Amino acid sequence: MKLSHAQKVSLLENGYVHIRNAVPRVMIDQALRAINHSVGQGMNVEDMVTFRAQSFCPEIKNTPVISDLLNRTPAWPLAESVLGTGMIREVKGGQIALRFPNLADPPPKPGCHLDGMHTPTNGVPKGKISNFTMLVGVFLSDVPETNAGNFTVWPGSHRIFEQYFREHGPESLLEGMPKVPMPEPVQVTARAGDIVLCHYQLAHGVAPNVSPHVRYAVFFRLTHVDHHLDWKAPMTNLWLHWPGIREILGMD
């Protein structure tokens, strides 16, 4: 399975593409069963800030019921269709991302970030940028309305940051998110089994959840096999490791 030309154009222009019904229902249900079993064993309140920053249910995040959502579904060949067959490093697990209802009224506006920046709770070492190539999100629950814990993106921000890092250097991200004019955010509405493929450099975040339901999703971070050669290069050359996008741009 491959991304269509139109889907590649969405990645090129917006920095992400939303694909419907990519993961079979049986695999969604198996993952939900495992997650809910884990949650049912209890969670320490003190651990919640770390779980939100890293992963809920850490004891199952590297088990097949989670990793198979990427490795044994169309999500993997769809990613390979733009990053190259055999060009993605092995992915052994994912981030289990739960967003519980809150009582905020009115709901706050979502904030954005780039992954791989140090915070006290996310496990990224201070003084290091842990960037990668592609973020893949798998939705395990329906999110049909906004302000329901939606995965939120700032379309086109990947290109804004590319220009910023060309001017200021990739290391400038160590000083915090670039202070640049941002496009309007889009809260992604989705159904269980949908996926999103996003460029690493796309600003994203999570909307507040004022719905009555928990939002369930799993996120995977994909890295091109050549990424380690120069972690800075992809930040100033967005499509360096994306042959499927370079092709439609006539760059190869």
Are β-strands 134-139 and 195-199 bridged in parallel, bridged antiparallel, or unpaired? antiparallel
In tens, the pLDDT along 177-197 reads: 999 999 999 999 999 999 999
pLDDT of 251 reads 80
Q: Mean pLDDT, the chain, as a whole number?
A: 97
At 30, list the tokens: 């198996």
| Whole-number Å distance between alpha carbons of 215 and 151 | 10
96 neighbors 57 (Cβ within 8 angstroms): yes
pLDDT of 248 reads 93
In tens, the pLDDT along 89-132 reads: 999 999 999 999 999 899 999 999 999 999 999 999 999 999 99
How much of the chain exceeds pLDDT 90, in percent?
97
In tens, the pLDDT along 222-243 reads: 999 999 999 999 999 999 999 9
pLDDT of 249 reads 92
What is the domain partition of the chain in residue ranges? 5-246
182 neighbors 154 (Cβ within 8 angstroms): yes
pTM for the structure as a whole: 0.97
DSSP-assigned letter for residue 88: B
pLDDT of 135 reads 98
Using 50, 70 and 90 to split pLDDT, how confident is the model at 74?
A: very high
Does domain 5-246 correspond to CATH entry 2.60.120.620? yes
Is a pLDDT exceeding 80 seen at residue 143? yes
Using 50, 70 and 90 to split pLDDT, how confident is the model at 35?
A: very high
Is a pLDDT exceeding 80 seen at residue 252? no
